[in-house]
């Protein structure tokens, strides 16, 4: 039976970098946010989003992700509504994906809101990636071309590192690439025993 290893961390912690280290080691990695983005382009999901959030967040029938983010990250109830549309479809897609990797001893399921969504309950073990708050803020500002205020708002919508750590089996402090890579190598040795 393939073990599911959850990989999570707050926005800007460097989860994707860590996921890439696992991929480079030949471990199958499912990145939930990437799959959710693809799923959000399907016509059925677009219709659901339109019904729930209105057509003002669309331009020429194309979803304006920035406008949608503005709505959901300012209103926890709206975020719940969006998650209720997206998460069941991502879960179904993941269940199909894992069948293609049933011969792997374990896979990595990377999700920013692993705990908030309840997906952690399906994981055998959990890795949390942490990083200093200022590093996280700067990474997201650079990556998303956004403001400090918007990043802080998103950070405050997620669980804190302390909350995640108490429910995690492994912690990777992502301060610099070399030490983070060493932590991944240590975890791989443990998982392959």
List binding-site positions for ATP: 12-17
Cα-Cα-Cα-Cα torsion 152, 155, 157, 159, nearest 10 degrees, comes to: -150
3-state SS track over 149-162: HHHHHHHHHCCCHH
CA–CA dist 117, 109 (Å, integer): 13
What residues are designated binding site? 12-17
3-state SS track over 119-182: HHHHCCEEEEEECCHHHHHHHHHHHHCCCHHHHHHHHHHCCCHHHHHHCCCEEEECCCHHHHHH
C-alpha triplet 92, 168, 98: angle, nearest 5°: 25
């Amino acid at each position: 039976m393939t073990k599911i290893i959850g990989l999570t961390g707050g926005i800007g912690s460097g989860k994707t970098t860590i996921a890439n280290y696992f991929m480079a080691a030949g471990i199958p990695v499912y990145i939930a946010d990437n799959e959710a983005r693809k799923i959000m382009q399907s016509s059925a999901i677009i219709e659901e989003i339109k019904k729930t959030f209105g057509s003002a967040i669309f331009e020429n029938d194309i979803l304006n992700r920035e406008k949608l983010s503005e709505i959901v990250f300012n209103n926890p109830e709206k975020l719940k509504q969006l998650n209720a549309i997206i998460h069941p479809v991502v879960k179904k897609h993941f269940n199909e994906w894992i069948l293609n990797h049933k011969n792997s001893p374990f896979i990595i399921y990377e999700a920013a809101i692993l705990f908030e969504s309840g997906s952690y309950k399906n994981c055998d073990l959990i890795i949390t990636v942490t990083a200093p708050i200022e590093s996280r803020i700067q990474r997201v500002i650079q990556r998303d071309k956004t403001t400090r205020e918007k990043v802080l708002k998103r950070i405050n919508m997620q669980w804190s590192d302390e909350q995640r750590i108490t429910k995690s089996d492994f912690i990777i402090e992502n301060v610099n690439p070399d030490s983070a890579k060493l932590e991944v190598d240590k975890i791989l040795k443990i998982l392959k025993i």
